Structure 1
Amino acid sequence: MAAFLAGCQASPGQPERLDSPPSTVNVTPATPTATPSAVAPPALPPGAQAELDQRLIRAAKANDAGAVAELIRAGGNVNAKDAIQDSAFLYAGAEGFNEVLQLTLAAGADVRSTNRFGGTALIPASEHGHVDTVRILIAAGVPVNHVNNLGWTAMQEAILLNDGGPRQQDVVRLLLEAGADPGIRDPQGRTALENAERLGFSGIAAMIRGG
């Protein structure tokens, strides 16, 4: 990372206790994907902050967790968006980049933020069948019944935009367990159950009926 970041690193850890022999001190080196430091870095001029934020988004889109951690430590804003309204948090959630996602959540990601389609990170994660990502986002508090600009919830996208296979069934199960409402209708007036039945996704339909 450029010298630009060198002055923004977190301060060294606590000094060694004087009553402890040096040989008994275990030093664990920091890893690139460690949780970002809670110590706030110095404020940057607006132009430098904007550049740092865009670097962070690019690193997230490259699924480079080490760079993401370093840029967050330098003051990168995980909620800042690029020209197509992606933030590091939203993109990591949508694409199932779970290590990057966890870093953004630890750095204060806004779990209610929305993308250019008016959807939360949970909606594309559900569509793509990223089961572990869906679990992470639900635990983080992303609203399960949010409706995007297309008129779809996470459950509707999990059904309408995939194949109804095992991963989609796991996603629907997680959403139901989290309190997702299968009765929310899409723009055509269909519920999640009606769409599952119409598309022949019997496993999902049975799960919703029993939910």
Structure 2
Amino acid sequence: MSLTNLWAAFAAMVVMGCGAAAVAGNTDSKDPKSAEQLLQAASKGDAAKVSALLKQGVPVDVRDASDSTPLLLATAGGHVEAARVLVEAGADVNLQNRQLDSAYLLAGARGELEILRMTLKAGADLKSTNRFGGTALIPACERGHVEVVKTLLQAGVDPNHINRLGWTGLLEAIILSDGGPPHQAIVRLLLDGGANVNLADRDGVTPLQHARARKQTAIANMLTAAGGR
């Protein structure tokens, strides 16, 4: 299996893991039934019910069987208002589940810009990493989330962080993309944001070499202009 297909397979696992309905498990609450209701409400995006349960005293950071919190489940579903209620109630945006996803990391990877901004304001750990050893920036680069990349760079995420595959955000924006306009914009943001244009992969292949091999002419031209070799 190629690295690209392997990455896609793992990404599918995330969708199944975080998108699943909340189930009985490690709810970490004296009232498991109410905790379960909060997890389910967050997963469905029922902001009114989430608010009501929190007012009844259900802990904001209860966990389901996969150790996902209500905020993480709301983020996985793209439920902005439910996420807002939870963040405003003090939900920990950095708590990670068994797959090492947190609301902050998942919002970056999924392109949930509004939720991402909430997590940043609530103290997201910019150095936290997912199970691939990557920051929130790296999957955002790969998936073409231009505004997310811009927001994370402005927040101070390191553009030269290397994940366990030996790739930076710049490398992923090239290796795992078609080189189209969104990824061109991301490459420009990374270069302007301090990305090392010549930081190679584990095999010593530079971003420019990867871009040329993939016939990504526009990106190759940007890298060359920035001193790429």
| TM-score bin, normalised by smaller chain | 0.7 to 0.9
Deviation at 1:76, TM superposition (A): 1.0
Query: For residue 51 of structure 1, what is the amino acid of its counterpart?
Result: R
Q: TM-score scaled by structure 2?
A: 0.72
- Does residue 203 of the first structure (1) align with residue 215 of the second (2)? no
- Does residue 51 of the first structure (1) align with residue 87 of the second (2)? no
SS at match of 2:69: helix
What are the superposed Cα offsets for residues 64-115 of structure 1, whole Å, 9 maximum, x if unpaired? 1111111112221000011111000100101111011111111111111100
What are the superposed Cα offsets for residues 167-198 of structure 1, whole Å, 9 maximum, x if unpaired? 11100000000010021111221010111011
Q: 94, 103, 113: which is aligned to 2:118?
A: 103
CA distance in 1, matches of 2:206, 2:154: 25
Q: TM-score scaled by structure 1?
A: 0.78
SS at match of 2:63: helix
Deviation at 1:199, TM superposition (A): 1.0
CA distance in 1, matches of 2:61, 2:159: 32
Partner of 1:192 in structure 2?
207
Question: Unaligned 5+ residue runs, structure 1?
Answer: 9-43
Query: For residue 146 of structure 1, what is the amino acid of its counterpart?
Result: H
CA distance in 2, matches of 1:197, 1:127: 17
Q: Mark the structure with the bigger radius of gyration.
A: 1
Aligned residues: 174
SS at match of 1:152: coil
What are the superposed Cα offsets for residues 131-182 of structure 1, whole Å, 9 maximum, x if unpaired? 1111001001110000000000000000000101111110000000001002
- Does residue 147 of the first structure (1) align with residue 166 of the second (2)? no
CA distance in 2, matches of 1:128, 1:171: 10
Partner of 1:133 in structure 2?
148
CA distance in 2, matches of 1:63, 1:70: 13
SS at match of 1:49: coil
Residues 61, 70 of structure 2: 8 Å contact kept? no
Partner of 1:20 in structure 2?
none
CA distance in 1, matches of 2:61, 2:75: 16
Deviation at 1:7, TM superposition (A): 5.1
Partner of 1:86 in structure 2?
101
Partner of 1:27 in structure 2?
none
CA distance in 2, matches of 1:6, 1:187: 51
- Percent identity of equivalent pairs: 46
Report which structure shows greater RCO (CA 8 Å, sep ≥6): 1
Partner of 1:29 in structure 2?
none
Deviation at 1:118, TM superposition (A): 0.1
Greater per-residue helix proportion: 2
Question: Unaligned 5+ residue runs, structure 2?
Answer: 1-48
CA distance in 1, matches of 2:205, 2:158: 21
Partner of 1:41 in structure 2?
none
SS at match of 1:51: coil
CA distance in 1, matches of 2:53, 2:199: 49
